[in-house]
Structure 1
Amino acid sequence: MYTPPDDETVAAHTREWLEKAVIGLNLCPFAKAPHVKNLVRIAVSQAKHLDGFLEDLDRELQLLGQTPADELETTLLVHPALFHDFLVFNDMLDLADSAVVENGLEGVIQIAPFHPQFQFADTEADDISNYTNRSPYPTLHLIREDSISKAAQAFPDAAAIFERNIELLNKMGHSGWAELDLPACPFHQANGTASDKTD
């Protein structure tokens, strides 16, 4: 039976992925500043079922919505056990988006998904392009719309960022990604996901 890591371990693994991949590879040019300023909250949910997770999401949305950006810029809500299957996680995203609306935060906060098995539409499971959104554990990134607007002013051509990321990952290949030595969810590691593959 799979026993998920404790909150401290999950948060540490998520922070390492943020520092090594997201910031280290500059996959998101906007991520470094709030991290350096300690304005990124990593919240770990150990809810036993979907309803409990959505309650945790409600709390994190409300906290972010009620806290000034200079105290809390963004939140990563991580669950180490509930969404092993990416398709189940993907189906949950509609409920997550509905939670934004139900909490009166439409146009204020949006959600970006990350998962150990993340797969964009019309790609193969092991396509390196999927790795831009592969995290150690299933994760919802709660982002302020204002932050996105400010980032768009600094980087008006968002498509160029995506293209640059794909070019970088294609150059690295699976072996280069593996050399980052990122932490992996024990469940997916034991079950040999595509993230374990090398060139």
Structure 2
Amino acid sequence: MEPSSLRQTRAWVESFVVAHDICPFAGREMRRDSIRYVLAEASDLEGLLHELVAECRHLDAHADIATTLLIAPAGMDDFDAYLDWLELAERLMEELGYVGIYQLASFHPDYVFDGVAADDPANATNRSPWPMLHILREAELERAIANHADPEGIPERNMARLREPGSAALAAGLAARGVE
């Protein structure tokens, strides 16, 4: 049986990210079954960084996978510790020559954008059931952006939609994360 963290993440992608067009590129990859969901076994920074490298190497060897969600169910509960992981991960990606090949996006249950209040509904765009790093193929991202009318406007559109009173997208995001 699939671990609950994987089931919850898949449900979040389907019922929030895709269903509410939070990422207009995710639906295509979900339909193509080209999203890889990986449950990290490590709970410490060093181990998680090793798993990130292993996942990049897996992507190197499997061109049919468009993107990976590396889910960290243990060790990254604290948002500040998670940000440390993200910072080290980005540096490691640079050191390994993955800049321009892969890009990291970040998601955490307690995600707060810099300069935004913790209770601002706009934070829900990056709040997920579990701490995770999203490894995107740059080539896939560039292809998707080239076919989108306003890729720069996506974050602002999402933030505005989530801030609307009675936002269905916000309610779906909270439900997918198990928050009532």
State the TM-score, normalized to the length of structure 1: 0.83
Distance 1:98 1:30, change over 3 A: same
What are structure 2's unaligned runs of at least 5 residues? none
Displacement of 1:149 after TM fit?
Answer: 0.9
2:11 pairs with one of 1, 10, 16:
16
Structure 1 runs not aligned, ≥5 long? 1-5, 185-194
**Number of matched pairs:** 179
Amino acid at match of 2:176: L
CA distance in 1, matches of 2:40, 2:130: 11
Give the corresponding residue for 2:130: 137
Corresponding residue for residue 176 of structure 2: 182
Alignment partner, residue 191 of structure 1:
none
Deviations 1:152-193 (A, max 9, x none): 211252232122212211125578634552144xxxxxxxxx
Out of 19, 39, 58, which is 1:44 matched to?
39
> Which position in structure 1 is the counterpart of 2:62?
67
2:10 aligned partner, one-letter code: R
Q: Give TM-score, length-normalised by structure 2.
A: 0.91
- Select which of 76, 86, 107 maps to 1:114: 107
Closer, same or farther in 2 for the Cα pair 1:76/1:172, shift >3 Å? farther
Aligned to 2:146: 153
Displacement, 1:30? 0.3
Cα distance in 2 for partners of 1:179, 1:42 equals 21
Please identify runs of 4+ aligned residues in structure 1 that moved more than 4 A.
Answer: 172-176
Deviation (angstroms), 1:81? 1.6
Q: Percent identity?
A: 34
User: Following TM superposition, by how much is the alpha carbon of 1:73 offset from its aligned partner in structure 2, in angstroms?
Assistant: 0.7
